[in-house]
Each structure stands twice: as C-alpha cells, then as structure tokens.
C-alpha cells in the first residue's frame, strides 16, 4: 500500500482529520483538501510537513484538479451539524451536488475508486426501526433540514449513476452519530453541547421531552468501518454506526455523571423534523465487512471528555467557530 494515493476532502474536519491520520499510518500518500468553512487547521497541524501529506486549500464545489496518479477519493467535505447547514444552506447543497459531481469526474479521469460520506439523515424521521439500508426514508425536502438531507440523497443518486453509467468504482457509507476528540464544542450536536454546558457550569439543554433516541459510535470504530468498506467490492450503501441505542434523557444523565455536573437539565421545544429514533441496523457491515464497533460508550466518552477538558476558556465560550457571513452571498 506504500505507493497508493488517496484524496480526502473535508480533511480539516472532525472525521476527515481522523481519516488522514489513519491513512498516513497505513503508509498512503494523503492529499487533504478543505475550504475551511467549518474545518479547523488545528486538526491537521501535526500532519503539516509530513512527507506523505499534502494539503490543498480548495472548495470542491469548484473544479477540482490534483496532479499525478490517484487511487482513492474519500468525499467528506460538507457541513454536518444543524448550526452549520442552517447558516450556510446553499453551500451545503452545493458541496453535496456540485462538489460530488466534480469529484466523480476527477475519479473517472484518474480511474480512482471513490467513497462518499452519506448519513443516517437520508432516513429522515424514520418509520422503520432500526434503519436498514433498503429503507427509503421519511424526509421533508422543503423543511429546514432538507438542505442537508436532500444534498446527501442526491449525492447517493449521482454516485450510483456514475457507477452504473460509467462503470466507476464507488462506495457509499451511511454514517450514524459519531463522537470523539476534535469534535467542535459548539457545533450544535448533542454530545459536545452537553459536555460544553457541563464544563461551563450551565444546565444541559434537552430539546423535546428527551425520549428521542440516538446511537453513538466512537470515531476509531467508524474510521475502521469506512476503510473496510473502501477496500471491499460492495457498491451499495452500508450503515456504519453503533446500534447501542439510548434516549437523549438517559444520555444527559450519563454526561452528568461523567462530568460531575451540578447545573441540572432544562427543556426546550423540539426543532422541526428532528428525528425521534436513530439506530442503525449493521447486519450488512457485519456480513460484508466483518465489522462491528468495539469501543463501548463509557470508554469513548471518557476519552472525549478528557479531550474537551484540554480546551481553553476561550474555546469553551466561543459561540461561533467561523464567520459564515461572507459565504451567504451566493
């Protein structure tokens, strides 16, 4: 594998940076690409100057070119939290459509295998539980979350079109809730939100009555599943996530115990189209990839909490990660 080259888009993001680390460790030549709208160079600072890592500051919604041979493309460029994609809805739609189209064209030109990062959000607020890959979903295309959900659904559709029409080697991973170091503390997702509130001495905010469920997969397990899917010969979507389901209220209680928080819990109205149940069926991942999660939640949460404790007071109180205003013109 020493001579293989992989392009990872969204390389400065949470998952993208962990993917860069993983492929560097496997002695790939890694090309990281990110426009830094939501990514953070701190996540890949340790790779800068590494002989097997090259960084491109580029928006994949524009034409993408990289020199030389290319064996694999992993498309992870996209806002992935409600705070982000509700503030930059057009860019979210563009990176899922134009960005995916550009990268599929690059994969075709380079004869590279391409894996796209899809999401459990393609299932919407599911009427089937747990969610299997053959479930088509219950998505509101014109709701506020539709910009993300439909971008990912289109991404899957155009990827399969390139696979069928051009014979391109493609892979589709449907990612369920994932957590670990390098998550953005204030990105709006439940785990960093709860831990951030606990560290600031604020009450944890539960939206709705807390009966909605989520299933949390530790990042190292997810990255291993993605790699196995990339190296498999299976072209259809595969769920990668942890099927250990928990209610949001139970999760808040776990975080309270972990952090020794004393500020209690407050309740706010549930956002529109927020899914009530989220649990992956991972039978395909087990059968096709020989994969299942290994890190239990207690272990993963402790590692994640230890990471967040290293952040500065400025980080803990930062409401915005980036200035989105300049991106709202288009």
Q: Is position 132 within any domain?
A: yes
Biggest alpha carbon distance in the chain?
58
Report whether the peptide linkage leading into residue 148 is cis, meaning its omega lies within 30 degrees of zero.
no
- 121 lies in a domain? yes
CA–CA dist 38, 36 (Å, integer): 5
**Is residue 299 included in any domain, yes or no?**
yes
pLDDT at 233: 97
> Is residue 262 very low, low, confident or very high in pLDDT (cuts 50, 70, 90)?
confident
On whether the CB atoms of residues 195 and 308 are closer than 8 A, the answer is: yes
Burial code of 231-258, b = ≥16 C-beta within 10 A, e = fewer? eeeebebbbbbbbebbbbbebbebbbeb
Locate 101 and state its tokens: 């189209």
pLDDT greater than 70 at residue 320 = no
Mean pLDDT computed over 294-309: 94
Task: Report the C-alpha gap between 41 and 48 in whole angstroms.
Answer: 9
CB of 151 within 8 A of CB of 92?
Answer: yes
CATH of the domain at 126: 3.40.50.720
Q: Are 17 and 43 in contact (CB under 8 A)?
A: yes
- Who contacts 89 (Cβ-Cβ below 8 Å, separation ≥6)? 147
Average pLDDT over residues 281-299: 97
Nearest to 134 by CA among 227, 239, 231: 239
Confidence of residue 273 (pLDDT cuts 50, 70, 90): low
Using a 10 angstrom Cβ sphere, with 0-12 exposed, 13-18 middle and 19 or more buried, the burial of residue 215 is buried
Q: Is the peptide bond before 130 cis (omega within 30 degrees of 0)?
A: yes
pLDDT > 60? residue 86: yes
Per-residue model confidence as pLDDT tens digits over 180-236: 999 988 777 889 989 989 989 999 989 888 898 889 999 999 999 999 999 999 999
Assess whether pLDDT exceeds 70 at residue 2.
Answer: no
Query: Taken in order 191, 192, 194, 199, is the CA torsion positive or negative?
Result: positive
**pLDDT over 90 (residue 103):** yes
Tell me how many domains the chain contains. 1
Phi/psi for 221 (5° steps) reads -65, -45
Judged against a pLDDT cut of 50, whether residue 324 lies above it is answered with no
CA count, 13 A, side-chain hemisphere, 217: 28
Would the pTM of this model clear 0.75, i.e. be above it? yes
Structural domain includes residue 328? no
For 216-324, list the strands marked E by DSSP.
217-218, 238-240, 245-247, 265-268
Whether residue 85 has pLDDT greater than 90: no
| Contact of 226 with 173, CB cutoff 8 Å | yes
- Which residues are CB-neighbours of 237 under 8 A, at least 6 positions away? 118, 133, 156, 172, 173, 174
Residues marked active site are found at 148
Which tens digit of pLDDT belongs to each residue from 15-44? 999 999 999 999 999 999 999 999 999 999
Name the 3-class secondary structure at 32: strand
| Residue 315 pLDDT | 67
C-alpha to C-alpha distance for 113 and 36, rounded to whole angstroms = 25
* pLDDT reported for residue 126: 86
Radius of gyration of the chain (CA): 19
Higher pLDDT pick, 158 / 314: 158
Is residue 330 in some structural domain?
no
* Look-up of token digits 């469920």: 213
Q: Specify the pLDDT at position 327.
A: 40
Which pLDDT value is given to residue 321?
44
pLDDT at 278: 82
**Using a CB cutoff of 8 Å and minimum separation of 24, what contacts does 311-319 make?**
311/185, 311/199, 315/185, 316/185, 316/196, 316/199, 316/200, 317/200, 318/185, 318/186, 319/186
Q: Say if 131 falls within a structural domain.
A: yes
Cβ–Cβ < 8 Å for 73, 23:
no
Residue 73 in domain: yes
Q: Nearest-CA neighbor of 191 among 33, 297, 269?
A: 297
Question: Which pLDDT score is estimated for 276?
Answer: 78
User: Average of pLDDT values for 261-277?
Assistant: 81
Residue 225 structural domain:
5-323
Q: Please, are residues 285 and 230 in contact by the beta-carbon 8 Å criterion?
A: no
- d(Cα 80, Cα 276) in Å, to the nearest integer? 18
So what's the pLDDT on residue 63? 97
Q: Higher model confidence: residue 278 or residue 200? A: 200
């Amino acid at each position: 594998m020493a001579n293989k080259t992989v392009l990872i888009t969204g390389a400065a993001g949470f998952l993208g940076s962990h993917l860069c680390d993983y492929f560097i460790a496997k002695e790939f030549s890694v090309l990281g690409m990110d426009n830094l709208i939501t990514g953070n160079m701190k996540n890949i600072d340790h790779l800068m100057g590494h002989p097997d890592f090259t960084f491109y500051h580029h928006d994949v919604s524009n034409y993408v070119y990289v020199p030389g041979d290319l064996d694999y493309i992993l498309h992870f460029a996209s806002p992935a939290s409600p705070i982000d994609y509700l503030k930059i809805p057009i860019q979210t739609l563009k990176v899922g459509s134009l960005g995916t189209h550009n990268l599929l064209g690059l994969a075709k030109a380079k004869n590279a295998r391409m894996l796209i990062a899809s999401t459990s959000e393609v299932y919407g607020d599911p009427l089937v539980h747990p969610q299997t890959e053959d479930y088509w979903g219950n998505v509101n295309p014109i709701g506020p979350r539709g910009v993300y959900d439909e971008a990912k659904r289109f991404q899957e559709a155009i990827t399969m079109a390139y696979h069928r029409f051009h014979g391109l080697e493609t892979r589709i991973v449907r990612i369920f809730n994932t957590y670990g170091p390098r998550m953005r503390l204030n990105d709006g997702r439940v785990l960093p939100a709860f831990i951030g509130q606990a560290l600031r001495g604020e009450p944890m905010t539960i939206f709705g009555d807390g009966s909605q469920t989520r299933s949390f997969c530790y990042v190292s397990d997810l990255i291993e599943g993605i790699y196995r899917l990339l190296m498999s010969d299976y072209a259809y979507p595969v769920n990668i996530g942890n099927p250990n389901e928990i209610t949001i209220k139970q999760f808040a209680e776990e975080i309270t115990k972990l952090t020794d928080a004393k500020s209690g819990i407050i309740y706010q109205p549930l956002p529109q189209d927020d899914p009530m149940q989220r649990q992956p069926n991972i039978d395909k991942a087990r059968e096709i990839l020989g994969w299942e999660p290994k890190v239990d939640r207690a272990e993963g949460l402790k590692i994640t909490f230890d990471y967040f404790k290293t952040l500065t007071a400025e980080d803990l109180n930062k409401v915005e990660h980036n200035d989105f205003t300049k991106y709202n013109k288009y």
